[in-house]
Amino acid sequence: MGGFFENRRVVVTGGAGFLGNFVIAGLKKRGCKNILVPKIENYDLVRLDSINRMYDDMKPDVVIHLAAVVGGIGANQKHPGEFFYKNLMMGVQLIEQARLRKIEKFTAIGTICAYPKFAPVPFKEQDLWNGYPEETNAPYGLAKKMLLVQSQAYRAEYGFNSIFLLPVNLYGPGDNFDPESSHVIPALIKKCVDAIERGDDHIDCWGTGKVSREFIYVADAAEGILLATEFYNGAEPVNIGAGFEITIKELVEKIAKLTGFTGQIHWDPSKPDGQPRRRLDVSRAKQLFGFEAKTNFDDGLAETIKWYRSARKTK
């Protein structure tokens, strides 16, 4: 461990967030002495003047761009314009100013939402452009996908070392449990735990439960991002995932069992399911920088449930 990060100044945008906390822990473990986190209250990274001030203040050698405006299907449906604009402007301007300042390396984080709606499963990086993304989160997915176009174009024209990673859905301790904007795992954990506390006999779930998803434990995703930042210097996008899929119905049943919820599960098929299937081909990450997800899914869920229950008690 160590070496690459030890004497470099590393800016982690979104470093105070869910994934950011784990990336920072991983940097510390690697002996990084200069970890710099631009807080949203000090730097609005959608604005060019804020980006320039941040670069002037922090003088990074390496940027890991995790900051994003994100949410589940409901939030994406409510804010397609905001999600498109803010994610695009943040990423595009951060990369452009990094290039102008001759920053050594930029790690851009994309999203599985960038893949076409009907991409063959498992999703391979070379299928990224073979169709339009799933409609409910296309604006967000496409805004992030532009950072791949920019990274490749800047590498070709300017020799700028920007890499692009595509993590699958994250979960784990410290996730966002706000029902307005949370993703599926925290939303389901909250539903089950709340129902147990209230003594409810059922929970309501969106869609049909037939679609599938893949999830990666947040600490594993952070490790993949750090390995790529340290060892990968290529133009091609790389998936960061766990390489398995589970239907939402199976997921709900698993979370109900792990939380101890024994009531009924009511499905609302009038609500959208999102993309039909999601599973990544994870062979490129293993081949290029030796990354493999380590955390067993049941163990990761149990850790997340435990964290949520203890976080509720301390509120």
Asked, for residue 268, whether it belongs to a domain, the answer is: no
Asked, for residue 86, whether it belongs to a domain, the answer is: yes
Instruction: Please state the pTM of the whole predicted model.
Output: 0.94
pLDDT value at residue 1: 47
DSSP H helices, the chain, are 18-29, 48-58, 73-78, 80-100, 138-158, 184-198, 218-231, 248-259, 283-289, 297-314
Asked, for residue 51, whether it belongs to a domain, the answer is: yes
CATH code (residue 142) = 3.40.50.720
pLDDT value at residue 315: 59
pLDDT, tens digit only, all 315 positions of the chain: 448 999 999 999 999 999 999 999 999 999 999 999 999 999 999 999 999 999 999 999 999 999 998 777 777 788 899 999 999 999 999 999 999 999 999 999 999 989 999 899 999 999 999 999 989 889 999 999 999 999 999 999 999 999 999 999 999 999 999 887 788 999 999 999 999 999 999 999 999 999 999 999 999 999 999 999 999 999 999 999 999 999 999 999 999 999 999 999 999 999 888 878 889 999 999 999 999 999 999 999 999 999 999 998 775
What H or E segment, with its residue span, contains residue 265?
Answer: strand 264-268
- The 10 Å CB-count burial string (b at 16+, else e) for 258-280 is bbebeeebebeeeebbbbebbbb
Asked, for residue 308, whether it belongs to a domain, the answer is: no
Asked, for residue 272, whether it belongs to a domain, the answer is: no
Which are the catalytic amino acids? 140
Asked, for residue 21, whether it belongs to a domain, the answer is: yes
Whether 28 and 35 have beta carbons less than 8 Å apart is answered as yes
* Domain with 129 in it: 9-171+215-243+279-295
CA 235 to chain centre: 20
Asked, for residue 273, whether it belongs to a domain, the answer is: no
Asked, for residue 274, whether it belongs to a domain, the answer is: no
Residue type, 123: F
How many domains would you assign to the chain?
1
Whether 233 and 167 have beta carbons less than 8 Å apart is answered as no
